[in-house]
């Protein structure tokens, strides 16, 4: 069977992409490795891309099958680019795309005086949400500095 798109990763981002692609009646396949997070993702791991970079023809699965595709959507695993949060003793949670710093509603991490915002502190990676998260962290930091709260 040929698919219009293959979505690698059954997280909220992957399934959102699959649903958007399916709306115009595109034939979509979702593959996900690891513990099942939902009932719609097949438990297969994509191990290689087939075809030259600009002419993707398919994705090779761990069982050796090649799934022919016209497009590919992937949610890569992420990790903090600096060890400073870990060195400071901040707690981390497992997010769907990788670890995120645990922070409260005012963006304070588990270490007093440390604030975290954006992709490093929320599981939803999105530029607009990250920007708004940064505004909240900055406002909360200012509040803590002025009022000691």
Q: If we measure between CA atoms, which residue out of 82, 66, 89, 64 comes closest to residue 119?
A: 82
pLDDT digits (tens, 9 = 90+) for 47-78: 888 888 778 888 888 888 888 887 777 777 78
Residues written for the chain: 149
Can you list the residues of the chain whose pLDDT is less than 70?
10-13, 32-44, 149
**E strands along 2-134, which residues?**
3-8, 28-32, 42-43, 46-50, 58-61, 66-74, 92-95, 98-101
Residues of the chain with CATH 3.50.50.60: 3-74
Q: Which CATH class is domain 3-74?
A: alpha beta
Q: Is the pTM of this model over 0.75?
A: no
């Amino acid at each position: 069977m040929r698919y219009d798109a293959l979505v690698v990763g059954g997280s909220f981002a992957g399934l959102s992409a699959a649903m958007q692609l399916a709306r115009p009646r595109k034939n979509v396949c979702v593959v996900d490795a690891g513990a099942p997070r939902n009932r719609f993702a097949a438990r297969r791991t994509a191990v290689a891309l087939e075809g030259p970079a600009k002419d993707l023809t398919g994705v090779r699965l761990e069982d050796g099958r090649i799934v022919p595709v016209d497009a590919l959507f992937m949610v890569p695993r992420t990790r903090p680019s600096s060890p400073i949060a870990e060195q400071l003793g901040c707690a981390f949670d497992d997010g769907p795309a990788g670890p995120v710093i645990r922070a409260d509603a005012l963006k304070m991490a588990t270490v007093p005086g440390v604030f975290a915002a954006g992709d490093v502190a929320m599981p939803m990676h999105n530029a607009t949400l990250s920007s708004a998260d940064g505004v909240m962290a900055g406002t909360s930091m200012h509040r803590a500095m002025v009022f000691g709260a």
